[in-house]
Structure 1
Amino acid sequence: MRKLILQSHISLDGFIADPAGKTDWILLGAAPEYVINLADRCDTILMGRIMSKGFLDYWEATFDNPPNGVPVPMAERMVKMRKIIFSRTLKEIKGRNVEVANGDLVATVNALKNEPGKELIVYGGANFSSQLIAAGLVDEYHLLINPVALGKGLPIFTDRRTFQLTESLTFKNGVIANTYLPK
């Protein structure tokens, strides 16, 4: 059975975005090799409808028109990887290697976990990630803790959870990448 991995940047006080959904506080260049190595373990990205437009637009534009003509290694992975977008309202979303799932979240994710292949990964979206966590579907958490406190914002944890820390890496800019398994 494949694992569902959740990778997310998170503030010191537990938010993945500010109250308006902005993530301009994230130190994106914090751990490129870490993020690429994690992506290489996976062959399918799961995301919610709200996050999908910005995600697809950004990575496809970066892949098609790399900055300074230099290819961005992560862009190729994000564009070529299978992406399943969960939506209750949309039947189709434009983008490369995109499928829309309208059915039951738990049943669909469990069916995906039973397919052959590499791991599945979720990159965020507060509401979507919260639903996966609440349903007990996430098997491994990779939280990139940024050295900033937002005071308020969008959490992904909506109830008490206990975890086992399996790895912790600290980067020069202060970001800490912690890997957790649910207990």
Structure 2
Amino acid sequence: MQRMEKQPFVSCDYKEIAVESARLSQYLDAYACFGWQTDREMGDVAGRTRLSLKRDRHILNKTELTRLERQFEACMDSIRALQASIHSRATMASLVVALLGTAFMAGATFAVTAEPPIVWLCVLLAVPGFTGWAGAYFVYRRVFKLRAQRVEPLIEGKRDEIEETCKKGARLLGA
């Protein structure tokens, strides 16, 4: 029978988080810089993975590491919001154009159903109506592209901030 060596007891803090599966590696790398270790990884539900983390309760510089951890989480939330804004702005712009097209088509419908029918007004209003419906797709693509170009430097800035935050955390752990 083998004899087990006694290991000193280490009291731990525990934390459970849900992260997007696509960003799992980034979260694991970053949390390691703040002293967290993966306790277990739970299943993937709706594109999100649940992580159970732990770290020594009596870790040095715990307050500063917690502050850096919150800064990292805020940066990740900002990146998520910036990326979502690309799609949402493009969607809103295309919906406005399509709605204007629908308003013109409603006007064209009322013009043709009037007594007597005003055909020239119907045609005049139908052209921008169809243009609005067809143009919504092109507006979406254009706004998406422009917004992505505007947001990309901001996202890169947040990634640089995350890198600096993780470096500070790693330095504190090594100290």
TM range (shorter): under 0.3
Looking at both structures, which has the greater relative contact order when contacts are Cα pairs under 8 Å and sequence separation is at least 6?
1
- Normalised by the length of structure 2, the TM-score is 0.25
Is the radius of gyration larger for structure 1 or structure 2? 2
- Normalised by the length of structure 1, the TM-score is 0.24
